[in-house]
Amino acid sequence: MAQTGTLLEVRGLNAQFTRQGTTTRVVKGISFDIAAGEAVGFVGESGCGKSVTARAILRLAPEGSSLQLGGAILFHGQDLLQLPERAMHDIRGRRIAMVFQDPMTSLNPVMTVGAQIDDMVRRHTGASARDARRRTVELLGLVGIRDAALRANDHPHQFSGGMRQRVLIAMAVSCQPDLLIADEPTTALDVTVQAQILRLLMRLRKELGMALLLITHDFGVIAGMVERVNVMLDGEIVESGPVGDVFASPRHSYTRALLDAVPRLDATGRAAR
């Protein structure tokens, strides 16, 4: 049965990270909600704090940094910032999962993709090796990888960029999380493959009843993917609302600039600005 009500409540979130002795404040007191089963987008230019916001939900520091968080992140009413690390370990992957930008840095190059999904399933569900492999093959088929039983024995370098992203999505949904965070999931993919990955995320969200938090710098990607959008600039949310309202009547000058950058088709079917 699909869940209802508020799934995630972020209140006054502050995030700063320290790298090589230098501390940078990246997220500045933002608040937002995600309802169960809802798709919400974050859009803004690179460096505005979108990805750090996504990582903050899972308390994951950027590589090579330490992360300091303030405010509250309520998941099913429980403040994730107050949980011990062991409890967070149980939530990551099982109840909140994340698809990162670059699958080659997220997948282990020396393990087969099947072994990596097997490990995720066994760690979070306690399944036997046989049952985990059965689930792995099912998941690879679910995300559109043909000959899934055979391809499970291949290594990441034997897959195209789009197929590797599908593998990451299979891992992310392996335990049917309540919330899937997709951080720039189509970066470095060609336009055709981008569309395939976005359609896949939409389909899985509906089939599995998950909420989706989609992070992107492209307002064109947001269109048709989410119900509500948050526009982020310099660590702050400068505009938010139903995606149709924001598209039709943007209030903030930065939102208007982002929308002006979305290519549109003229009467001849050619891209026009």
Strands 264-265 and 271-272, how do they pair? antiparallel
Backbone angles phi, psi at 268, to 5 degrees: -90, -5
User: What's 4-48 look like in SS3?
Assistant: CCEEEEEEEEEEEEEECCEEEEEEEEEEEEEECCCEEEEECCCCC
The whole-angstrom separation of Cα 157 and Cα 108 is 10
* CB distance 178 to 95 below 8 Å: yes
For domain 6-272, give the CATH superfamily.
Answer: P-loop containing nucleotide triphosphate hydrolases (3.40.50.300)
User: How does pLDDT run along the chain (273 residues), one tens digit per residue?
Assistant: 345 689 999 999 999 989 888 999 999 999 999 999 999 999 999 999 999 999 999 999 877 888 999 999 999 999 999 999 999 998 998 999 999 887 778 899 999 999 999 999 999 889 999 999 999 999 999 999 999 999 999 999 999 999 999 999 999 999 999 999 999 998 878 888 889 999 999 999 999 999 999 999 988 888 889 999 999 999 999 999 999 999 999 999 999 999 998 875 333 334 444
Dump pLDDT digits (tens) for 22-68: 999 999 999 999 999 999 999 999 999 999 999 999 999 877 888 99
> Has this prediction a pTM greater than 0.85?
yes
The whole-angstrom separation of Cα 73 and Cα 63 is 22
| Residue position matching structure tokens 């009843």 | 209
Q: Give domain limits for the chain.
A: 6-272
Give bridge partners of residue 33 from the DSSP assignment. Answer: 9
The whole-angstrom separation of Cα 192 and Cα 39 is 22
The whole-angstrom separation of Cα 116 and Cα 132 is 11
Give bridge partners of residue 22 from the DSSP assignment. Answer: 19
Dump pLDDT digits (tens) for 118-148: 999 999 889 999 999 999 999 999 999 999 9
255 closest CA partner among 42, 93, 52: 42
Dihedral angle over CA of 237, 200, 225, 15, nearest 10: 0
| Residue position matching structure tokens 């609302």 | 241
DSSP letter (8 states) at residue 241 = E
